[in-house]
Chain A
């Protein structure tokens, strides 16, 4: 304990050098905290955007429809759920489930009276349930679809802006959807454009549309749904709900698959992998910089105190105690620098979030994103531990040098 206090007091002897070392450690710590906070924000923002943008936390579909095709918006209606209403009741009775909504996927051609046509990818759902599930539709023009099932001849669609532009239509215009039903036969349905929306993804905005479940069922001549989407009260309960649902639906005929949202979102996995790579790369650079900077400082401190250390040895202090003194000085630097870095990082996070900085849309996205940095408690603790490890590593060279000191040579050192 005395040795530790002595090491701490030693740091105060050359305040300028200590301050520089602490600044290096604190800056590295703060940089890691900011990176971790931004990565966490990106992961959380992306995952919630995907879940509440239409994926839900879990998907229930026929096993035959999902085999090898977990990441798709085009589930064949021929492989649809005939008993989706009974399943819906069963699933919504489970704890933690906010709601279960049927969706029906439709692919086909949209055409207008003016002779324009374009391929579309449609997802039909129940607006009331989807609102309960927290699904968001970004309406840019016009209005949202009516909640009630449309009567014959009153079917509505929400078109993505790019698709509307291709077709030359806007809110209130009529158009015709053409699709192939489960029997492989063509069918057509007149619809009115209720509003223009964006999915947030540029490529999808050129061919995506939304319609009411009943309209899609009318178009496809079916009462089935492609799948049931399930949302939970908390994303962290996804795994627990996944296992429970798989158990509940185990005996169902035909066999059903329960697919977590992560499997349906390859984009999310790619972004996560990319950000992880960036984080480790930045972390490695910070690690190397801190090790180099502090090991140099520690080496200098040892060089300047050779006679003092020789005197300590001559007075009977053991090699271990002298080497430990230098090592403890390094650990104090790591601890104090880490704590200061945490404080600096916290202040920067608050400042950055307060500034409400908008960033340009990422590649493929439509809307700009707001820069947010999250507080990640694990990162605050983790960076201090990391800095202790870094400084311990940086102290290895100086400690070895102290251990090799000869008393006579040290006392004569100038």
Chain B
């Protein structure tokens, strides 16, 4: 579960930039841009979500705030986890805990570990961090074979990926996280999207191909595009986070 949240924090390292694959058809590039959830999901939002697996005793309930493209704060809704947050500032991940005076910087290995990362939850920022190696079409399904750009945060966690989209609906269907040696590590299926919001996923299925086990089902139960206070993301002043209501499970 922690891996999920760790990964959730691994959000917003991403800004838009051009695609490098010169051999790709402009229409495919446009399709990739339209299905890039990183750019379609609002940069300021608050969301609540549940994560469940058939082998867990109870689902995990969490909430997250996104305050700009590179900043993310998440916490588990459980009184036992009170005061603990996972924070992402750019490519850096931090754990904020009541027992530690300063936010604890998490190493790249810890930050990128786990069955899912925030990039994988919203999809990868396929426009900024990846080059298109090639695109394959089969009916309305198009598969983009992507390679992470060097020296990006994505390159450490997701060196390669397959981005599968529905050309007709202009929505992503699935992303396969591929290791440098070609093995598929994880698969994220975008099973459903929030009604009324074209490209905000509401239900995802996360499969850990390498380690196996039952898939994790992530459901975004509440989503609100709303301005998020800067104070939530401060590394030095916890006052902003202290004003948040207690981390209790929603009834």
Contacts and interface: CB of A to CB of B under 8 A. Distances in A.
Interface of A: 109, 111, 113, 115, 117, 152, 155, 176, 178, 180-181, 183-190, 218-219, 221
B100 A188 contact: yes
B97 A187 contact: yes
Given A109-B107, A111-B105, A117-B107, A184 B1 contact: yes
Nearest to A115: B105
With a 10 A CB-CB cut-off, give which of A176, A186, A219 has the most chain B CB atoms.
Answer: A186
Given A183-B1, A184-B1, A188-B95, 14 more contacts: A109-B107, A113-B102, A155-B99, A176-B100, A178-B95, A178-B104, A183-B80, A185-B2, A185-B5, A186-B5, A186-B95, A188-B100, A190-B101, A219-B99
A184 B99 contact: no
Interface residues of B, number: 22
B15 interface: no
B242 to A, nearest CB: 17
B76 A185 contact: yes
Nearest to A117: B107
7 closest A-B pairs by CB: A189-B99, A188-B100, A188-B97, A184-B1, A188-B104, A185-B2, A186-B2
Given A111-B104, A178-B95, A187 B84 contact: yes
B112 interface: no
A32 B110 CA distance: 56
A115 B76 CA distance: 27
B124 interface: no
A109 B110 contact: yes
B81 A183 contact: yes
Interface string B79-118: 0110010100000000101011110111100100000000
Contacts, number: 59
Interface string B181-211: 0000000000000000000000000000000
A109 B6 CA distance: 15
A181 B102 CA distance: 19
B1 A189 contact: no
A180 B97 CA distance: 12
A37 to B, nearest CB: 51
B224 interface: no
14 contacts: A178-B104, A183-B76, A183-B81, A184-B1, A184-B3, A185-B2, A185-B76, A186-B86, A187-B95, A187-B99, A189-B97, A189-B99, A189-B100, A190-B100
B136 interface: no
B126 to A, nearest CB: 29
A190 B97 CA distance: 10
B87 to A, nearest CB: 12
Interface string B1-43: 1110110000000000000000000000000000000000000
B76 to A, nearest CB: 6
B230 interface: no
B104 A176 contact: yes
A97 B23 CA distance: 78
Contacts of B84: 185-187
Contacts of A218: 99
B237 interface: no
Nearest to B100: A188
Nearest to A189: B99
B95 A180 contact: no
B78 A183 contact: yes
B10 to A, nearest CB: 14
Contacts of A178: 95, 104, 106, 110
Contact of B99 (A115, A183, A185, A190): A190
Contacts of B107: 109, 117
With a 10 A CB-CB cut-off, give which of B5, B6, B81 has the most chain A CB atoms.
Answer: B81
A191 to B, nearest CB: 9
Contacts of B100: 176, 188-190
B104 A185 contact: no
Contacts of B81: 183, 185, 221
Contacts of A152: 99
Contact of A188 (B1, B80, B99): B99
Given A117-B107, A221-B80, A185 B101 contact: no
With a 10 A CB-CB cut-off, give which of B5, B81, B100, B110 has the most chain A CB atoms.
Answer: B100
With a 10 A CB-CB cut-off, give which of A115, A183, A189 has the most chain B CB atoms.
Answer: A183
B66 to A, nearest CB: 20
A183 B60 CA distance: 10
A193 B104 CA distance: 18
A113 to B, nearest CB: 8
Nearest to B103: A188
Contacts of A181: 80
A221 B97 CA distance: 11
B105 A185 contact: no
Contacts of B5: 185-186
B1 to A, nearest CB: 4
Contacts of A187: 84, 95, 97, 99
Nearest to A222: B80
B45 to A, nearest CB: 23
B110 A185 contact: no
Interface string B109-146: 01000000000000000000000000000000000000
